[in-house]
Amino acid sequence: MTSTGQEPSIFSRIAAREIPATIVAETDRIIAFEDIAPQAPVHVVITTRTQQYRNVVELAAGDPGLLAELVSVAAGIAAERSNGQFRLVFNTGEASGQTVFHVHAHLLAQPGPGSPAGDDSLGEGSLAFR
Ligand code: 5GP
């Protein structure tokens, strides 16, 4: 249980190293890791260490600075892996496809030349994630 009385989310458990994941960036308040079921050649989940906010609307209202930090981490990953070009998707609500109710963004991109995400097994062209 967390201090708010909630069970830890799957993302909190990844941040606590209870569940393995390929972590690609971390700050004091943000953690980013490879999505387990990638929908694009570069597909990184970027989330807050706190699970206090269920979605981006709550985060924007409750801690806009933390949302800005999340976007900054996304931009940094994209600068390294996809020439700074990317999509950032926040599924918000079950009907939109949200399955984990701990705010997170999907960073979706094509790998840039020479980037470490050279696996293009998901193909060239437009991103698959919808
Ligand atoms: P949502 O559907 O809530 O927008 O996104 C949740 C994402 O978390 C999905 O893309 C899903 O593949 C990813 N995910 C769920 N469980 C795990 C896990 O245990 N490890 C990792 N790395 N990603 C996960």
Domain boundaries, the chain: 10-109
Length reported for the chain? 130
List pocket residues of ligand 1, CB cut-off 6 Å: 10, 19, 21, 33-37, 45, 91, 97-100
Q: Residue 104 and residue 54: Cα distance in Å, rounded?
A: 9
Q: What is the pLDDT of residues 24-45, one digit of tens each?
A: 999 999 999 999 999 999 999 9
Summarize pLDDT for 61-115 with one digit per residue, the tens.
999 999 999 999 999 999 999 999 999 999 999 999 999 999 999 999 999 876 7
Cα 3 to Cα 20: distance, rounded to the nearest angstrom: 23
Q: Which residues pair with 87 in a beta bridge?
A: 108
- Looking at domain 10-109, its CATH superfamily turns out to be HIT-like (3.30.428.10)
Distance 111 CA to ligand 1 centre (A): 20
Nearest-atom number in ligand 1 for the CA of 101 is: 3
Task: Indicate which residue's Cα is closest to atom 21 of ligand 1.
Answer: 36
SS (H, E, C) 34-78: ECCCCCCCEEEEEEECCCCCCCHHHHHHHCHHHHHHHHHHHHHHH
CA gap 115, 113 in Å, rounded: 6
Q: From ligand 1's centre to the CA of 126, what distance in Å?
A: 21
